[in-house]
Amino acid sequence: MYTTAYRITGDVEWAGEALQDAFMQVFKHIGSFEQRSTLGAWIKAIVVRAALQKVDRRKSSMTSWPEEYGDTMLDWGTSPIDAMQLEQAIQRLPEGARAVFVLAEVEGYAHKEIAEMLDISEGTSKSQLFAAKKRLRELLSPQMMY
């Protein structure tokens, strides 16, 4: 949970505050858990939302992203990607694109779920994910072999 919060916020202090806010909500509203998902998934969604609230600039950073990557082919290279370098690259992404990438690729949320969490359209979620991947590939390209 903390890792998710940190990866979304990109800040240790914000991650701690988000986790704290999230668990306060969990303890206060545990009675309203309707078992439509697992308890873990329910708590994680609350943590994600709390982390997103800390990154309140996500919408402005999303609108600043160009969306002309539609026909671009992304190639992740033939050699393994170093996880620590990937982590550093993720943290260099703009906040909005980073949140979408973490939620989609790391946490496994669907674009519909991401759109609801971030209050954006599914199309925006998809374009932000593609933009994030494009930027990651650029950041990782010095070590990539093709």
Q: 20-29 long-range CB contacts below 8 Å, 24 or more apart?
A: 21/50, 21/53, 22/46, 22/47, 22/49, 22/50, 22/51, 25/50
Residue 38 is a binding residue for other proteins (CB under 8 A): no
Q: How far apart are CA 7 and CA 3, in angstroms?
A: 6
The smaller minimum CB distance to other proteins, of residues 60 and 143, is found at 143
Among the residue ranges 9-17, 36-44, 53-61, 118-126, the one whose residues contact other proteins (CB under 8 A):
9-17
Q: How far lies 116's CA from each of 59, 74, 79, 123, in Å?
A: 13, 27, 36, 12
Identity of residue 19: L
Residue 19 is a binding residue for other proteins (CB under 8 A): yes
Residue 32 is a binding residue for other proteins (CB under 8 A): no
Residue 142 is a binding residue for other proteins (CB under 8 A): no
Among the residue ranges 21-29, 37-45, 53-61, 120-128, the one whose residues contact other proteins (CB under 8 A):
21-29
Supply the minimum distance, in Å, between the C-beta of residue 112 and other proteins.
Answer: 21
Q: How far apart are CA 41 and CA 140, in angstroms?
A: 31
The smaller minimum CB distance to other proteins, of residues 49 and 59, is found at 49
Binding site for other proteins (CB under 8 A): 2-3, 6-7, 12, 15-16, 19-20, 23-24, 27-28, 73-84, 86-87, 105-106, 133
